[in-house]
Amino acid sequence: MLDPQARALLDLMIERGVPPTHTLQPAEARKLYRERRSFTQPPALTMAEVRDLSADGPGGPIGLRLYRPSSAAAVAPGLVYYHGGGWVIGDLDTHDVLCRELAHRSGCVVVAVDYRLGPENPFPAAVDDCLAATRWVQAQAMALGIDASRIALGGDSAGGNLATVTALGLRDSGGFQPRFQLLIYPGTDMRALAPSHTSNGQGYMLTSDSIAYYRGHYIPNERDWSDWRASPLLHRDLSKLPPALVLTAGFDPLRDEGWQYADALSKAGVPTQCICFERQIHGFITMGRVIDEANTAVGLCAMALQRALAAG
């Protein structure tokens, strides 16, 4: 059964004539995404510090936003967070509330990454930015009040994809190793072959049409769909990665590829937990104003971060 609160939200969107993302130009889709967040997201929590930063990137400066909760130690664990939005929409503002909640509940310093978006900057621009930004955070950890040995990577949807791709890139380049991966309904296989793409492909917020729209803007060349930087599930070696929590939603087209990635990590010897919110839709974790289970999911993620990043 679909969660009644999720059902009510979907019905309201139909009633109000909210246009599907795939019918909009990217600029329009970004504007609508920013505007509607105030309806579904909880009030923004007050932080001890919120600061905009900039890191050097391959395509120019990369915007970052640091969140320090009042509960954070002088040198605290850190979470580098990559927002969702299909690599086409979303920004620091659309995920500001979620980053504040994760910081407040976990005691981590969260640094959100404003990576480049398609179609203006197609694949692998977002990957390159996330790698550069993450390396910058680790290098500047002391100045940021972050323990460089206790850094996690996390993200939702496209951001979950970027989190695990960044972890793979760091491992393969011999860079520093993050302590943990927080993967919230991640996209892991751009070929979209998993059964849930069919069973959940229409009617539950994220649709097959929207997935094709995002993929077409971010990865216009079909030959790149099998590149592990787009489809981490297809990487030949998933061993020696940080422990992971993979969170999925039961009425999400990406549900099965999240499960598949969790299973692949486990088979490769990576300590992995996979939890499915069976009655939820894609994108629900940012919707705590209208979906109660979103707040439960945020608390679960924060608890996992606390445990994974504990001192010692």
The catalytic residue positions are: 157, 252, 282
Instruction: Specify the amino acid at residue 243.
Output: P
| Torsion, CA 273, CA 179, CA 308, CA 78, rounded to 10 | -120
Pair 268, 241: CB distance under 8 Å: yes
Does an H or E element contain 153, and which?
A: strand 146-156
Pairing state between β 49-55 and 62-68: antiparallel
Bridge partners, 233 (sequence order) = none
Pair 79, 152: CB distance under 8 Å: yes
Bridge partners, 155 (sequence order) = 82, 183
Q: What gap in Å lies between CA 156 and CA 138, rounded to an integer?
A: 21
Q: What b/e sequence results for 126-160 when a residue is b if at least 16 CB atoms lie within 10 Å of its CB, and e otherwise? A: bbbbbbbbbbbbbeebeebbbbeebbbbbbbbbbb
Closest C-alpha to 97, from 27, 42, 177, 24: 42
Is it true that the peptide bond before 119 is cis, omega within 30 degrees of 0? yes
Q: What gap in Å lies between CA 301 and CA 255, rounded to an integer?
A: 17
DSSP reduced 3-state for 21: helix
Q: What single DSSP character describes residue 206? A: S
DSSP reduced 3-state for 265: helix
